[in-house]
Amino acid sequence: MFSTLKMFQWKGWLPLGKKELLGWDRTFKNVAEFRDALQKYSIARRFAYRLKKNDTNRASGRCVVEGCSWRIHASWVESEQVFRIKKMNKSHTCGGESWKHATPNKNWLVSIIKDRLRQMPRQKPRDIVNGLFQDFGMELNYSQVWRGIEDAKEQLQGSKKEAYNLLPWFCEKIVEVNPGSFVKLSIGDDCKFQRLFVSFHASIYGFQNGCRPILFLDSITLKSKYHEILLTATALDGDDGFFPVSFAIVDIENGDNWSWFLEQLKHAISTSRSVTFVSDKEKGLMKSVLEVFENAHHGYSIYHLLENLRRNWKGPFHGDGKVSLPGSLVAAAHAVRLDGFRMHTEQIKRVSSKVYDWLMQIEPEFWTNALFKGEHYNHITVDVAATYADWIEEVRELPITRKLEVLTRNITGLIHTCQRDSNCWTTKLTPSKEKKLQEDAFRAQFLKVLFSTDTLFEVHDDSIHVVDTEKRECTCLEWKLTGLPCRHAIAVFKCKGSSVYDYCSKYYTVDSFCSTYSKPILPILDNFNDLDEEKDASESVQVLPPTTPRPPIQPEEKRYYYRKGEPTRVMSCSRCKGEGHNKATCKQPAQPLEHTTTPATALALDAPALALDAPALALDAPALALDAPALALDASALDAPSPCP
The pLDDT tens digits for 521-537 are 998 865 444 555 555 54
Residue with more model confidence, 1 or 142: 142
pLDDT at residue 16, as a whole number? 34
Angle at 380 between CA 377 and CA 383, to 5 degrees: 125
pLDDT digits (tens, 9 = 90+) for 256-306: 999 999 999 999 999 889 999 999 888 889 999 999 998 899 999 888 888
| Mean pLDDT across 3-24 | 44
Q: Are strands 182-187 and 138-139 parallel, antiparallel or unpaired?
A: unpaired
pLDDT digits (tens, 9 = 90+) for 176-224: 999 999 999 999 888 999 999 999 999 999 999 999 999 999 998 887 8
Please tell me what DSSP assigns to residue 579: B
pLDDT at residue 422, as a whole number? 94
State which H helix or E strand residue 412 sits in.
Answer: helix 400-422
Top mean-pLDDT range of 214-228, 298-312, 500-514, 540-554 = 500-514
Q: Are strands 82-89 and 27-28 parallel, antiparallel or unpaired?
A: antiparallel
Could you give the CA distance from residue 257 to residue 222 in angstroms, rounded to a whole number?
Answer: 16
pLDDT at residue 22, as a whole number? 67
Q: Which residues 6+ apart lie within 8 Å of 275 measured at CB?
A: 213, 214, 215, 293, 296, 297
Q: Partners of 467 in the beta sheet?
A: 457, 474
The CA-atom distances, in angstroms, between 291 and each of 258, 285, 294, 490 are: 12, 10, 6, 41
pTM above 0.75, yes or no: no
Contact 481, 414 (CB under 8 A): no
pLDDT at residue 429, as a whole number? 96
Tell me, rounded to whole angstroms, the distance of Cα 540 from its chain centroid: 33
Could you give the CA distance from residue 109 to residue 257 in angstroms, rounded to a whole number?
Answer: 41
The stretches of 276-399 forming alpha helices (DSSP H) are: 286-292, 302-312, 321-334, 338-351, 353-360, 385-393
Q: Are strands 297-300 and 276-279 parallel, antiparallel or unpaired?
A: parallel
Structural domains of the chain, ranges and CATH numbers in brackets: 6-154 (no CATH), 164-299+383-407 (3.30.420), 303-366 (no CATH), 431-508 (no CATH)
Burial class of residue 507, CB neighbours in 10 A (0-12, 13-18, 19+): buried
The DSSP line for 535-552 is: S-TTTSPP-BPPPPPPPP
Residue 312 binned pLDDT confidence (cut-offs 50, 70, 90): confident
Judge whether residue 643 has pLDDT over 60. Answer: no
Residue 553 binned pLDDT confidence (cut-offs 50, 70, 90): low
Give the torsion through C-alpha atoms of 597, 603, 605, 607, to 10 deg.
Answer: 160
Residue with more model confidence, 394 or 188: 188
Q: Which residues 6+ apart lie within 8 Å of 386 measured at CB?
A: none
Could you give the CA distance from residue 162 to residue 20 in angstroms, rounded to a whole number?
Answer: 39
